[in-house]
Amino acid sequence: MNINSPIGFFDSGVGGLSVLSSFRKILPNEDIIYYGDLKNLPYGDKSQAQIIGFSKKILDFFEKKGVKAVVIACNTSSALAYESVKDHYGFKLYPVIQSCAKVISSMSVNRIGVFATQGTVTSGAYTRELTKYKPDLKVKEIACPHWVSIVEGLNSDINPEEDIKSKLEEMMEFSPDKIILGCTHYPYLLPVLTKFAPKELFINPADIFVDYIKSDLRVSGLLNPSASEGNENFYVSANPENFIEHSKIFYNIDKQVNLV
């Protein structure tokens, strides 16, 4: 492992590509390996033991690839698996929730809302991480089990706009100063969310996350000094065609997706 080694990204599916897309805008020269665990998605309704098992398998894969760091783009893995895996690997680990908590809690806010998957909400990870830095902060987490499928255009039995509006109404009763979109897919619902609430209310953690990763890589002496555009390789545990199809809303993949 050295400064020229690749950086791994992983998620249950295509959602982590939203983080990769933000990452590419500020670090275009890093080599990237992306892993989408389509065989096991969705992660949002799985048990903690399952999420730890999936995450370890993916991190073992990245270890064999000789990465210098892994970005845990998936909120659910960061919430349920990070604590169990963090000391087991010789590369840097960047979990989205833990990496963003300090910056978010330092904003001038007293009440924070979080929309996330059922697994993330049940874990209480956002509340735990945010209140580490600001113990008086009031946090309300609401699970939105349909939102991933809404973004991917898969739900036929619910009215997407009604579902989004009703979750937002429930959240607004808490009078949040800000609302974290705590799942990789949710920033893509901003066009609907902002029909009912101002854009400034929402936090897309990806922006804060990639700034954090860049500054930590720099401090750790791990930023790739190359001036040329980095390589990208994509791997999935199942359904490469499905991955390519659904990736289009998040990222432009112009190469073969490998099945592992």
Identify which of residues 121 and 222 has a Cβ nearer to ligand DGL in the complex.
121
Find residue 8's DSSP bridge partners.
33, 70
Binding region for ligand DGL (CB under 6 A) out of 70-78, 170-178, 200-208, 228-236: 70-78
Site string for ligand DGL, 130-149 (x = CB under 6 A): ------------------x-
Compute the least distance from the CB of residue 29 to ligand DGL, in Å.
Answer: 26
**What values do phi and psi take at 65, rounded to 5?**
-80, -5
Catalytic site residues?
74, 183
Asked if residue 146 lies in contact with residue 158, where contact means CB atoms within 8 angstroms, the answer is: yes
Please tell me whether residue 74 binds ligand DGL under the rule CB under 6 A. yes
Please tell me whether residue 205 binds ligand DGL under the rule CB under 6 A. no
Compute the least distance from the CB of residue 110 to ligand DGL, in Å.
Answer: 26
Site string for ligand DGL, 184-203 (x = CB under 6 A): x-------------------
Identify which of residues 171 and 222 has a Cβ nearer to ligand DGL in the complex.
171
* Residue closest to 126 by CA, chosen among 95, 86, 92, 159: 95
Residues 2-21 that bind ligand DGL (CB under 6 A): 11-13, 15
Asked if residue 171 lies in contact with residue 180, where contact means CB atoms within 8 angstroms, the answer is: no
How far apart are the C-alpha atoms of 247 and 53, rounded to whole Å?
25
How far apart are the C-alpha atoms of 117 and 260, rounded to whole Å?
26
Binding region for ligand DGL (CB under 6 A) out of 59-67, 72-80, 157-165, 242-250: 72-80
Compute the least distance from the CB of residue 229 to ligand DGL, in Å.
Answer: 26
Neighbouring CB atoms inside 10 A of 194's CB total 13
Please tell me whether residue 237 binds ligand DGL under the rule CB under 6 A. no
Strands (E), 117-176: 138-143
Please tell me whether residue 76 binds ligand DGL under the rule CB under 6 A. yes
Query: CA neighbours within 13 Å on the CB side: how many for 24?
Result: 18
Identify which of residues 31 and 45 has a Cβ nearer to ligand DGL in the complex.
45
Q: In this structure, what token pair is assigned to residue 59?
A: 């991190």
Q: In this structure, what token pair is assigned to residue 57?
A: 């398998």
Instruction: Name 197's Cβ contacts closer than 8 Å, sequence gap at least 6.
Output: 168, 172, 179
Contact positions toward ligand DGL, by CB under 6 A? 11-13, 15, 41-44, 74-76, 117, 120, 148, 183-184
